Amino acid sequence: MQVVDNLVALRTRVKNWRQQNEIVAFVPTMGNLHDGHLSLVQKAHELADRIVVSIFVNPLQFNDKSDLTAYPRTLTDDIKLLSELDCDLVFTPSDEVMYPEGMDKQTSIHVPGMEDKLCGLGRPGHFDGVATVVTKLFNMVQPDIAVFGEKDYQQLMLIKKLVQDLNLAVDIVGAPTRRDETGLALSSRNNLLTEKQRVQAPLLHEQILLLKTSIENGIDELDVAISDAQDQLKQAGFEPEYLDVRRESDLALAQLGQDTALRILVAARLGNVRLIDNIACNLA
């Protein structure tokens, strides 16, 4: 496995693979890797001959500077984990490599329709930062396939729309959310939970599972069911940011009786830790 931090070395290696007609898959990450990230690499192995993983904590997608500062950096451990998965190349660019003229002068990519719903409402500028860095990484790596986790479902939908709108030559593959034995979605943020919060946290998944069951069994008042689920979260110590049922294909508000492929999405704070989760809900 090769670790590179500059564009010339990255492109030289990828060019050699392409000359051998090898398929290249890409997994972009911000490091602090856990089994959820590693499952994306394993998925990439099923789809391609060569695997590139990037590790870059992207300042553009943090609207809270303290959140950026607190984000854990574990590069040495991350590289060791990736070497054990037969990753071919790890790209570890600096801020200067990614934004050579500074972030204030960086061309920004805006994907419409994401800033006014769900995570977009509470994190202004976040999705522009995601779209911009992912576009740059795609242009740097030039992969055939890119693998993203479904845990951040809105981000996955944003990347799919970005690729479609800009006619980028990369296939986007969504991989299922990896969970621990309690059902809690794996996340780097889970490490910030206290022992007490770690016991409370699985309720987030439990509530959207209960809501899924209620919807699939047939309910007349969706708003009431959502409100009840939010109340349960509040009683358990969460501060819900949103809990919503959306059309899976485009995240438009779900219309029961018309839409059949739905996605239940939730974001809530437990103390200072922001957790997100989602689950598919099918009425067909």
DSSP 14: H
Which amino acid is located at 49 in the chain?
Answer: D
Q: What span, in angstroms and rounded, lies between the C-alpha atoms of 263 and 250?
A: 10
Q: What span, in angstroms and rounded, lies between the C-alpha atoms of 159 and 146?
A: 10
Q: Is 37 a catalytic residue?
A: yes
Which residues make Cβ contacts (< 8 Å) with residue 116, sequence separation at least 6?
Answer: none
**Angle (nearest 5°) at CA 151 between 228 and 189:** 90
**Cβ neighbourhood burial of 49 (10 Å; 0-12, 13-18, 19+):** middle
Q: What span, in angstroms and rounded, lies between the C-alpha atoms of 70 and 87?
A: 27
Q: Which of 37, 45, 110, 205 is catalytic?
A: 37
Q: Which residues are catalytic?
A: 37
